[in-house]
Amino acid sequence: MTAPVLAVTHAPWRRLALPLFLLLVMGIAWGGSFSLLRIARIDGASGFGIAFWEGCGSAIPLLLLMLLTRQKLPLDRRSLVFYALSGFFGITIPGSTLFFAALFLPAGIVSMSNALVPLATYAFALIIALERFTVPRAFGLLVGLAGVLLVLLPETSLPDPGMAHWALLCFAASISYGVQNIYVAKATPRGMSSLAMSAGTLVGGGILVLPIVVATDGFFSMMPPWGQAQWAVVGMMTVNSSCTVAFLWMIRTAGPVFTSQCAYLVVLFGMLWGIVIFGESHSGWIWAALALMVTGVLLVSLRQRRAP
């Protein structure tokens, strides 16, 4: 079967305008969510509790929108399995790793773990023959990976060398996101709308993380009075509900590998938000890593433009 990304790869440049614009918007918004996550964690919110609200809470506005537009959420067996698996890889696993590690790392560094998402997505796509191997695209992804290595390997790259194992925990979330990208591209039930797909994924992931919340006594109350943590979580839910719709729509229309380039922009804006909000400063290694990551996404984007 022809890989979904090829429909965009061989399209005229004007057809890439909307996907590239959405990549930018998602990068800015999702990049900022790492700072919101750190605010919530510093204020005492449990990482698992945040993951629950990130799933089920983010789904509420989407379900309301479906109700207003008289759309039905498919509840047949195949759809329920899809919600569970997509939510498991997109919400449950990242919520059990990334959100926990966020307390121990600068927001900018946490966001940098997203640079592994395109590499993981492309690797899995090659394994199942969803994508063809091309030198320009592979080189762009490897350049991005080289940037990640500059974060982990030099002893002076991170504020504390002991943070490296927390960074590795973040990478588990990135690999899981890559699996979700491929699963959505291959297994979305026929006729399911992006809105239903998004709402179902969020609810599925939130429900699956609930046993961990109960086992760790990590429930996070959203009852008033609200503090910084509650406001930060509401901001995360708003970003997640809107960006998830755009992200899943792009996977179906532009392909998982093209869409996964959003991760590089999330890295860029995640670091910028960390500087603005927390006054974070980074070593020369980190800035060199950022330059490589940006170069990686540019290489992949240029390859898309030059395709006939």
pLDDT single digits (tens) 163-209 = 878 888 888 888 898 899 899 888 989 888 888 998 999 999 999 99
Instruction: State the sign of the Cα–Cα–Cα–Cα dihedral 123, 128, 130, 133.
Output: positive
Which amino acid is located at 13 in the chain?
W
User: What is the enclosing helix (H) or strand (E) of 215?
Assistant: helix 194-215
Question: Rounded to whole angstroms, what are the CA distances from 90 to 48, 136, 189, 225?
Answer: 14, 28, 17, 30
Nearest Cα residue to 237 out of 27, 55, 94: 55
Average pLDDT over residues 19-40: 91
In 10 A of CB 251, how many CB atoms? 26
Please tell me what DSSP assigns to residue 77: H
> CA-CA distance, 124 to 277, in Å (whole number)?
36
**pLDDT mean over 118-145:** 79
What is the structure's pLDDT at 300? 60
- The pLDDT of residue 54 is above 60: yes
Contact 268, 107 (CB under 8 A): no
pLDDT reported for residue 169: 86
Q: Which is more confidently placed, 129 or 61? A: 61
Smallest CA-to-CA distance from 252 within 4, 85, 32, 77 is with 4
Q: By C-alpha distance, which of 98, 36, 24 is closest to 239?
A: 36
pTM for this prediction: 0.81
Confidence at residue 204, expressed as pLDDT on a 0 to 100 scale? 95
Q: Is 140 helix (H, G, I), strand (E, B) or coil?
A: helix
Domain regions of the chain by residue span: 17-306
